[in-house]
Amino acid sequence: MKDTSKKTRREFLKDTGKLAAASALAGVALPHVHAAEDNTLRVVLIGCGGRGTGAAANAMSVKRIPVKLVAMADIFEDRLSSSYNGLKRRFRNQVDVPPERRFIGFDAYKKAMNCLRKGDVAIFTTPPAFRWVHFTYAIEKGLNVFMEKPVTVDGPTTRRMLGLAKKSREKNMKVGVGLMSRHSRHLQQLADKLHNGAIGDIILMRGYRMSGPVGSAFTLPNTTGMPDLLYQIRRFHSFIWASGGCFNDFYIHIVDHLCWMKNAWPVSAIALGGKHYKKNPDGVAYIDQNFDSYSVEYTFADGTKMLMDGRCMTRCHNEYHSYAHGSRGSAIVSKNGDCGSPSSLFKGQSPERSGMTWRSRAPRGQENPYQNEWDDLVDAILDDKPYNEAERGAIASMISSMGRMSAHTGQLITYDHILNSPHELASNVDKLTMDSPPPVQKGPDGRYPVPMPGMKGDKEY
């Protein structure tokens, strides 16, 4: 692939625009679906946690063509078994995964993908640190892909994923990324209105995800006897190398859909945050690498600001929604959650019902954005339509990392800075085995390194 390590933002966007225009003609000789023999689209699940199980269920709920799950892979046998049992109960005739096609280990992803034919679909729902590794093999095999967000955790992996995205377009692969807000019919309607000037020029956007700790973003010392590498992967939201931390994994949806409303990516971020006093009910301190609170001010090229506030603490005020403010009105983008409906427009800057001028309505049967993203992907496969979200997913992930990196370093971080950054959080994830040391090591006190703004230069820990 080309070396993009020294591109400016302007040069990069110019080049990727050319690639996007050319991608519609790339690989047109490939069959749009191979399933003439049995009229079935086969999928494999790589990463069998809750989100992976949900993605597989959405795949098998597609109505247009029969979809069958034929292999599963994970490094934790208990998670694979739990996922298999739940899916088998719900989709008995569509789950054909005998014991010999349930693979365990760091190389299990290859064994699962080897069960597919060209044009089938691989689902990637492992921690995002492994996304580029799995995507590389899918491109080699000529498979279509659905990958969960985030898809990168730092600048070097973003550059790598952008190169892989280009290769996947050249092979006419169909690639979905789990930023499901883009498939919310409510947000699609709002984006169309905002892009056509419904509230004038957008001058400010605000996003909030403030709640108690969720997922595995809070972690106690490892007393399980599990090797530390596996413990970190099991608790991946707590470790920046594995997930980008809670900021990337939880806040990326709002960051992404607000950038979509603006129809631009920010050029810089300045942020703050900190760790506080979180302990479990027994008084044992959590040892995760996350800050407990974040506040990021993103700036776009025209000076527009986007604020993203996040907090993972109990017994505090909760907020979970997003707004856009324009020169001639305002909008509720997500009423609740990552893409909660309905979206709505207001004639003033206050979202009062009396000032509402419009609200969104989803077509019947298209209310669920998680299902929509699978229906849209399968439609593209069957109709051989250009469909590749890998580049956009990589940039959205990098924009999230830009905010997180600013908070963790205490520095203003620009688009060009993070895109060209040499600081890779885990450079050997493609070589890990069950016996490997973890990418981040505990100190003598049994604690993991945490961000110390102003103390580590442009490194996060």
Interval 403-421: pLDDT, tens: 999 999 999 999 999 999 9
Strands 413-414 and 268-274 turn out to be: antiparallel
> Would you state the pLDDT for residue 19?
42
Measured over the CA atoms of residue 133, residue 134, residue 135 and residue 139, the dihedral's sign is positive
Residue 394 structure tokens: 């990589």
As a whole number, mean pLDDT of residues 9-19 equals 45
Cα 97 to Cα 84: distance, rounded to the nearest angstrom? 8
> Would you state the pLDDT for residue 277?
76
As a whole number, mean pLDDT of residues 133-151 equals 98
Kindly report the average pLDDT of the chain as a whole number: 92
> Would you state the pLDDT for residue 214?
86
Q: Tell me which DSSP letter residue 182 carries.
A: G
Query: What does CATH list as the number for 184-362+399-419?
Result: 3.30.360.10
Which architecture does CATH list for 9-181+370-388? 3-Layer(aba) Sandwich (3.40)
Locate tokens 């620009």: which residue?
414
Q: How confident is the model at residue 26 (pLDDT cuts 50, 70, 90)?
A: very low
As a whole number, mean pLDDT of residues 298-302 equals 98
Point out the least confidently predicted range of 11-20, 100-109, 179-188, 374-383. 11-20
Residue 46 and residue 124 in contact, taking contact as beta carbons nearer than 8 Å: yes
313-345 confidence digits (pLDDT tens): 888 999 999 999 999 999 999 999 999 999 999
SS3 at position 319: strand
Residue 3: pLDDT over 60: no
Residue 23: pLDDT over 70: no
278 Cβ contact list (under 8 Å, min separation 6) = 213, 218, 285, 286, 292, 313
> Would you state the pLDDT for residue 279?
80
Cα 19 to Cα 22: distance, rounded to the nearest angstrom? 5
Q: How confident is the model at residue 35 (pLDDT cuts 50, 70, 90)?
A: very low
400 Cβ contact list (under 8 Å, min separation 6) = 150, 244, 247, 248, 251, 252, 255, 256
- Secondary structure of the chain: what % helix, strand, coil (to 5)? 40, 20, 45
Residue 12: pLDDT over 50: no
> Would you state the pLDDT for residue 38?
72
Share of the chain above pLDDT 90, in %: 84
As a whole number, mean pLDDT of residues 224-247 equals 96
75-90 confidence digits (pLDDT tens): 999 999 999 999 999 9
> Would you state the pLDDT for residue 37?
54
Cα 8 to Cα 294: distance, rounded to the nearest angstrom? 27
Domain ranges of the chain: 9-181+370-388, 184-362+399-419
Residue 318, number of CB atoms within 10 A of its CB: 12
**CATH topology identical between 9-181+370-388 and 184-362+399-419:** no
